[in-house]
Amino acid sequence: MNCICSQRDLKDALIAASKALPTKPQTPILNGIYIVAKNNQLEIQATDFALGVIAKIPAEIEDEGTIVVNGKNITEIISKLAGDIVTISTEEGNSATFKSEAASFSLYTMDAEDFPKVSVQEFQHSLFIKNNVLRKLIARSTFATSNDDSRPVFQGCSVTIEGSTITFVATNTHRLVVVKAKIEDNIEGENKFIVPAKTLNDLMWIINSAREDNGVKIEFSDKHIAFTVNNIFVTCRLIDGQFPPHEKVIPASCETYANLDISEFRSAISRVEIISKQTEYNTVRLKFDSEGLELSSDSYETGKVIEHVNAAVEGPGVEIAFNLRYIQDFLKIAGGDEVRIGMNDKLSPADFRITGDDDFIYIVTPVRT
Amino acid sequence: MNCICSQRDLKDALIAASKALPTKPQTPILNGIYIVAKNNQLEIQATDFALGVIAKIPAEIEDEGTIVVNGKNITEIISKLAGDIVTISTEEGNSATFKSEAASFSLYTMDAEDFPKVSVQEFQHSLFIKNNVLRKLIARSTFATSNDDSRPVFQGCSVTIEGSTITFVATNTHRLVVVKAKIEDNIEGENKFIVPAKTLNDLMWIINSAREDNGVKIEFSDKHIAFTVNNIFVTCRLIDGQFPPHEKVIPASCETYANLDISEFRSAISRVEIISKQTEYNTVRLKFDSEGLELSSDSYETGKVIEHVNAAVEGPGVEIAFNLRYIQDFLKIAGGDEVRIGMNDKLSPADFRITGDDDFIYIVTPVRT
């Protein structure tokens, strides 16, 4: 192999591909990034079997070739190079040289034959979605998924595409989020599948660092999904299994509604957290009445906190308790000025929404106190 | 106790005092911060026995009193309060209440009688030093100390005050730093003592967050030292023991001198590090000759790097190797444009200086290769 390419292009491609490097590789070859020089471009691949990334960048190629080098090392090296241009060459023996200005790195290569290349499926369906729309869907859903390995469906977001509406649903069984958005295409039938939250978070990173905003192409079939962001192709297996129906978790109506200024609420919650995080279930008690909202938390080790927040309360007063972290997660990603909380009683799930935003529903099960 | 004070004053005082909270307290009371309301001020103390901090802030006092509350909790609470004013009061039972705007925290108190109050010694000597001068002395010396508990003298900086010169010396036996500065006072005799690097680093933090630049008062006696930065008093025991003489470690003359642009050198070192950190001793080889400097490093796992840096070399060529971290530490805190390295041979200590700055000498023992 003998070629030259832009340092910035190569750096961006390697950082994107690195997202697929496993933290605990099943075999040493998975530590590698696969680089093919051919047809005036470099194709860069990494995979952990579940997730695969392929990035393509333009290159001037004198000799074609294929190498696999340690992904972490090459990404750090190319990121720190000072010159605009990188020369890649292979000599005899198993090493590849990366040069830029006065720096020259020779890295040992691995056998490219051993590399499990990312398989590009035939996809039955495809659609385009705007970068910002997909970012919002991901930001508002993946945080609500579960880390529990024993129930894989909850480690993903259930995605439904029907007509020109796309819906993401995520839950860890204690809280549930439903986010909707419009797409420009009109998709036939109901398409429903579960995408791993990790893939979506990696994709988010790739969208955020995209230099051009050309939209994201989504392709899917029964078992696989792929996202294309400019020159970067991300693909993974869908999660097998049934996502439980979420509609009946959302309260049809609520007896009490409270409207709060979101930044006042966020600030009060950040203080109450100092005490609540020292309790067993990170519990915050909320007491809504005509006076507004009283937040409180009690730790037998530390002491207690009481905080008052202005709230316009409609309907009967209610006392309810939550895991404070679940409220904080919502407030972290909620835009807008006002939050509207719908409640029935201290044991029924509460319904958190942002006033004026019908595309985002957040349901939280109370903590029993 | 019943008093009010400024949230900002109280926050700054608590953060400063927190520097003395031990990470592994010998007794639970050392988790506490001691607060006395008396004579229109709050006095706030914390100590880990080795280090003690006392901060004083103005307060309107209705009822005098003394409390001890968990230092970490109260610092976090006061830091997050939204109002400008904090009210502190004690009720019956063992708790104290801190109120600001709509927030009210009640914290359990500890028995103030149990708190080991910071003892304020009689000091024989005192001097003033400008904030910036002391900051520079600390930044350029503490990094070179040792973490080795078995040799306490190397966990401190040897400070010598003679006439109007103050000198800090620090070493971990593999590298040595000597930093000098002028003070405005003229101190009689030679005064020499060893100050724990931890105290100096905590003090650095306090100087950096000082709202007014009024200089630092240094007081010392045989066994103790104290620093006063505005309203904050920091005191600790000096380290017992003899600091070895450092003068003979500094080469009297060097056969080879190399002058390098500091930012070019820093950038090259940051790349070479990617390989060197994968070697056993973090080794970088330096080859100086009429062509300039060739840096290289070799890892049997990863590969190798060669990098060229422009250098004006005076005297015979030399090949020498160092622990790269030691060069990096120097480059991190070295200001200036050019570094001048004096060397004799591959086994003798090298002398790193910043061109035009005679107050800073850094000696590094080579790695044998």
- Judged by DSSP in three states, B205 sits in helix
The C-alpha atoms of residue B285 and residue B283 are separated, in whole angstroms, by 7
CB contact A82 to B (< 8 Å)? yes
Which of these, B261, B275, B246, lies nearest to B175 by C-alpha position? B246
Residue whose C-alpha is closest to residue A88's, from A7, A16, A170 = A7
Residues 6+ apart with CB under 8 A from A105: A77, A97, A98, A99, B271, B274, B275, B303, B304, B305
Q: Do A304 and B106 touch (CB under 8 A)?
A: yes
Nearest Cα neighbor of B98 from B116, B114, B121, B75 is: B75
CB contact under 8 A, A102 and B309: yes
Check residue B297 and give its pLDDT: 98
Say which residue the tokens 């004070």 belong to: B5
- Chain B residues close to A307, C-beta within 8 Å: 102-104
Q: How far is A359 from chain B (nearest CA, A)?
A: 32
B238 closest CA partner among B347, B333, B139, B121: B121
Q: Which of B342, B265, B302 lies closest to A108, judged by CA?
A: B302
**Any bridge partners for residue A61, and if so which?**
A3
Q: Is B309 on the interface with A (CB under 8 A)?
A: yes
Beta carbons of B50 and B118 less than 8 angstroms apart: no
Predicted pLDDT at A93:
79
**Subunit contact B102:A303, Cβ cutoff 8 A:** no
Residue with tokens 């590698």: A32
Type and span of the H or E element at A131: helix A131-139
Query: In terms of CA atoms, which chain B residue is nearest residue A273?
Result: B77
Given a contact cutoff of 8 angstroms between Cβ atoms, the answer to whether A326 and A284 are in contact is no
Residues in chain A, overall count: 369
- What is the layout of strands, in order, in the sheet containing A311-314? A156-171, A175-196, A357-364, A350-354, A338-343, A256-261, A311-314
Question: Do A259 and A338 contact (CB within 8 A), yes or no?
Answer: yes
Nearest to B360 by CA among B340, B153, B347: B340
Rounded Cα–Cα distance for residues A319 and A288 (Å): 6
* DSSP string covering A251-301: -S--SEEEEEEHHHHHHHHHHHHHHHTTSTT-EEEEEEETTEEEEEEEETT
| Other Cβ atoms closer than 10 A to B304 | 18
Structure-block tokens of residue B254: 């060097």
- Specify whether the CB–CB gap between B85 and B7 falls below 8 A: yes
Give the chain A residue nearest B78 (alpha carbons).
A271
Q: Report d(CA B322, CA B346) in Å as an integer.
A: 10
| Cβ-defined contact of A274 to B307 (cutoff 8 Å) | no
Is residue B75 less than 8 Å (CB to CB) from chain A?
no
pLDDT at residue number A328 = 98
Euclidean distance between CA atoms B12 and B31, whole angstroms: 18
What are A254's two structure tokens? 């609520």
* Integer CA distances (angstroms), B66 to A177, B31, B33, B44, B296, in order: 49, 16, 11, 10, 62
Q: ipTM score here?
A: 0.90
Give how far A37 is from chain B: nearest CA, Å. 21
Chain A contact probe: residue of B304, B309, B328 with most A CBs at under 10 A: B304
Q: Residue B103 is nearest to which of A102, A108, A305, comparing CB atoms?
A: A305
Chain A nearest C-alpha distance from B212 (Å): 29
Residue A24: which residues within 8 A CB-CB, separation 6 or more? none
Cα distance from B80 to chain A (closest Cα, Å)? 6
| Chain A CB within 8 Å of residue B73 CB | yes
How far apart are alpha carbons B169 and B180 in whole angstroms?
Answer: 9
SS3 B313: strand
- The pair phi, psi for residue B124, each rounded to 5°, is -80, -30
- Are the Cβ atoms of A81 and B271 closer than 8 angstroms? yes
Instruction: Note whether A309 contacts B: Cβ–Cβ < 8 A.
Output: yes
User: Which of A76, A270, A307 lies closest to B102 in CB terms?
Assistant: A307
pLDDT of the residue at A23: 93
Ramachandran region of residue A84, left (φ > 0), alpha (ψ -120 to 50) or beta? alpha
C-alpha atoms less than 13 angstroms from C-alpha of B178 in its C-beta half-sphere: 19
Q: Which residues of chain A have pLDDT under 50?
A: none
Q: Is the minimum CB–CB distance between B303 and chain A shorter than 8 Å? A: yes
- pLDDT value for B58: 98
Q: Which of B95, B107, B305 lies at the smallest CB-CB distance from A103? A: B305
DSSP tally for chain B: helices H, then strands E: 6, 24
What does each of the 369 residues of chain B score in pLDDT, given as a tens digit?
A: 999 999 999 999 999 999 999 999 999 999 999 999 999 999 999 999 999 999 999 999 999 999 999 999 999 999 999 999 999 999 877 999 999 999 999 999 999 999 999 988 899 999 999 999 999 999 999 999 999 999 999 999 999 999 999 999 999 999 999 999 999 889 888 999 999 999 999 999 999 999 999 999 999 999 999 999 999 999 999 999 999 999 999 999 999 999 999 999 999 999 999 999 999 999 999 999 999 999 999 999 999 999 999 999 999 999 999 999 999 999 999 989 999 999 999 999 999 999 999 999 999 999 998
Using the beta-carbon criterion (under 8 Å), do B307 and A268 form an inter-chain contact? no
Q: How many Cβ pairs within 8 Å bridge chains A and B? A: 80
Secondary structure element (H or E) that encloses residue B248, with its range? none
Q: What is the pLDDT of residue A121?
A: 83
Amino acid identity, position A245: P
Tokens of A164: 């020109």
Per DSSP, A245 falls in state P
Residues of chain A in contact with residue B305, where contact means CB-CB under 8 angstroms, are: 103-106
Measure CB to CB from residue A107 to each of B105, B303, B309 and give the nearest one: B303
Kindly state the tokens that stand for A134. Answer: 């997909």
> Which chain A residues are closer than 8 Å to B95 by Cβ?
303
* pLDDT score, position A254: 97
Q: Which of A275, A302, A310, A324 to mutate to test the interface with B (most CBs of B within 10 A)?
A: A302
For residue A222 the two structure tokens come to 């029964």
Residue with tokens 């500065």: B181
A293 CB within 8 Å of a chain B CB? no
CB-based contact A76 B104, cutoff 8 Å = no
